[in-house]
Amino acid sequence: MYHHVSPTAGIITTTPQNFESQIAGLARHGYHALTADEFAGFLAGQPVPDKSVMITFDDGYLDNWVYAHPILKKYGMKASLFLITGLIGDGPARPVQGQATDLPAIAGHMQAKAMLAAGTTDPVMLRWSEVLAMREANTFEFHCHTHTHTRWDLIAPTREACIENMKQEFSDSRACLQERLGGVSEHFCWPQGYFDPEYIELAQAAGFKYLYTTIAHDQNLVGSDPARIFRFAVRNRRFSWLWQRTWLATHPVIGPIYNRWKSWKKAKRTKA
C-alpha cells in the first residue's frame, strides 16, 4: 500500500529513488504485478505466478503521475489506484519525471491535507487526463475510494445520517467512474481504513465485492473473505526491506506467527 511517491519528505511518502529500488527489485526477481481481476481470481482459487504481488495506491495524488507512473512504465509493472473521485480535476496532463525538468511542485502529505481542506485540489491531486494517460500506458488501473474520502462516522449527527451519506458516497463515486472511465470495478478501498459490518453490507449492496483494508497483520489466501483484504504500508526503504517484509508476512509458517506478534505489539501500543 502506497500513497505518495515524491522527493518531498513527509509521512506515508516514498522517495522516487527508493520506489525505483523497490519496483526494480521486484522486476529483477521475477515478480508479476497482479491486476485486481487476477487477484480476485487468486482468492477464488485460480492460478497465478508463484511470485505475485499486488501494488496498490490510495487517494490519487499528483505525484503518482509525476513520479510513480514513469517508474512503473520503465520496469513493466502495474499498480491499482483507488481514486477519491470527487477530488480529481480537469485540465491537460502535467510533465512527468524524465520528460521535463520543470516538474510540478509536490506538497508533503500534511500540507496536501491542509490544501485539500481549504478546497485547493488541483496542485495536490490527479487530473482525469493523467488518469486516462496512465490507464492507456498500462501502469495503473483505477478503482473506487469514495467520492469525498469523508469519515461520516465521525461527523454525521446521527447513525442514520452517516449511513445515508455513505450510500451517497458509493452512488456518486460509481457514477463518476462510469462517466469518466466507462465502467466501475467490484474493488473498493475504505477511507482512512475505517469500516464496520454495516458498512460492509452497504458496499456490497452498492456492487463492491472486494473490500481493501489498511489492516496489515493477516494473510490473503485462496478462499479468504474478499470483504477483508489485507495490505501493509510500504516504508521509505530500499528493495531489501520490501523483500524481507513481504517474505515475513506471507510465509506459510512464519507469516502467521509474525502477524500475530505485530498485532500484539500494535494492541499494546494502543492501550498505552
pLDDT in tens, 176-225: 999 999 999 999 999 999 999 999 999 999 999 999 999 999 999 999 99
pLDDT-based confidence at residue 268 (cuts at 50, 70, 90) = confident
Answer yes or no: is pLDDT of 15 > 70: yes
Beta bridge partners of 59: 83
The whole-chain average pLDDT of the chain stands at 96
Cell of residue 76, nine digits? 513493466
What local confidence, expressed as pLDDT, does residue 272 receive?
66
Q: Which residues of 69-95 are buried (b: 16+ CB within 10 A; e: fewer)?
A: bbbbbebebbbbbbbbbbbbeeeebbe
- DSSP summary character for residue 123: T
pLDDT beyond 80 at 117: yes
* Residue carrying C-alpha cell 509474525: 258
Read off the pTM.
Answer: 0.95
Range of lowest pLDDT (32-41, 93-102, 111-120, 189-198): 93-102
The answer to whether the CB of 215 falls within 8 A of the CB of 267 is no
Start-to-end CA span in the chain (Å): 26
pLDDT band at 61 (very low <50, low <70, confident <90, very high): very high
Residue 106, amino acid: I
240-259 pLDDT tens trace:
999 999 999 899 999 999 99
Question: In this structure, are residues 90 and 126 in contact, taking their beta carbons and an 8 Å threshold?
Answer: no
Residues 93 and 62 sit within 8 Å (Cβ to Cβ): no
Give the model's pLDDT for residue 72: 98
Give me the amino acid identity at 191. Answer: P
Structurally, at CATH architecture level, domain 4-271 sits in Alpha-Beta Barrel (3.20)
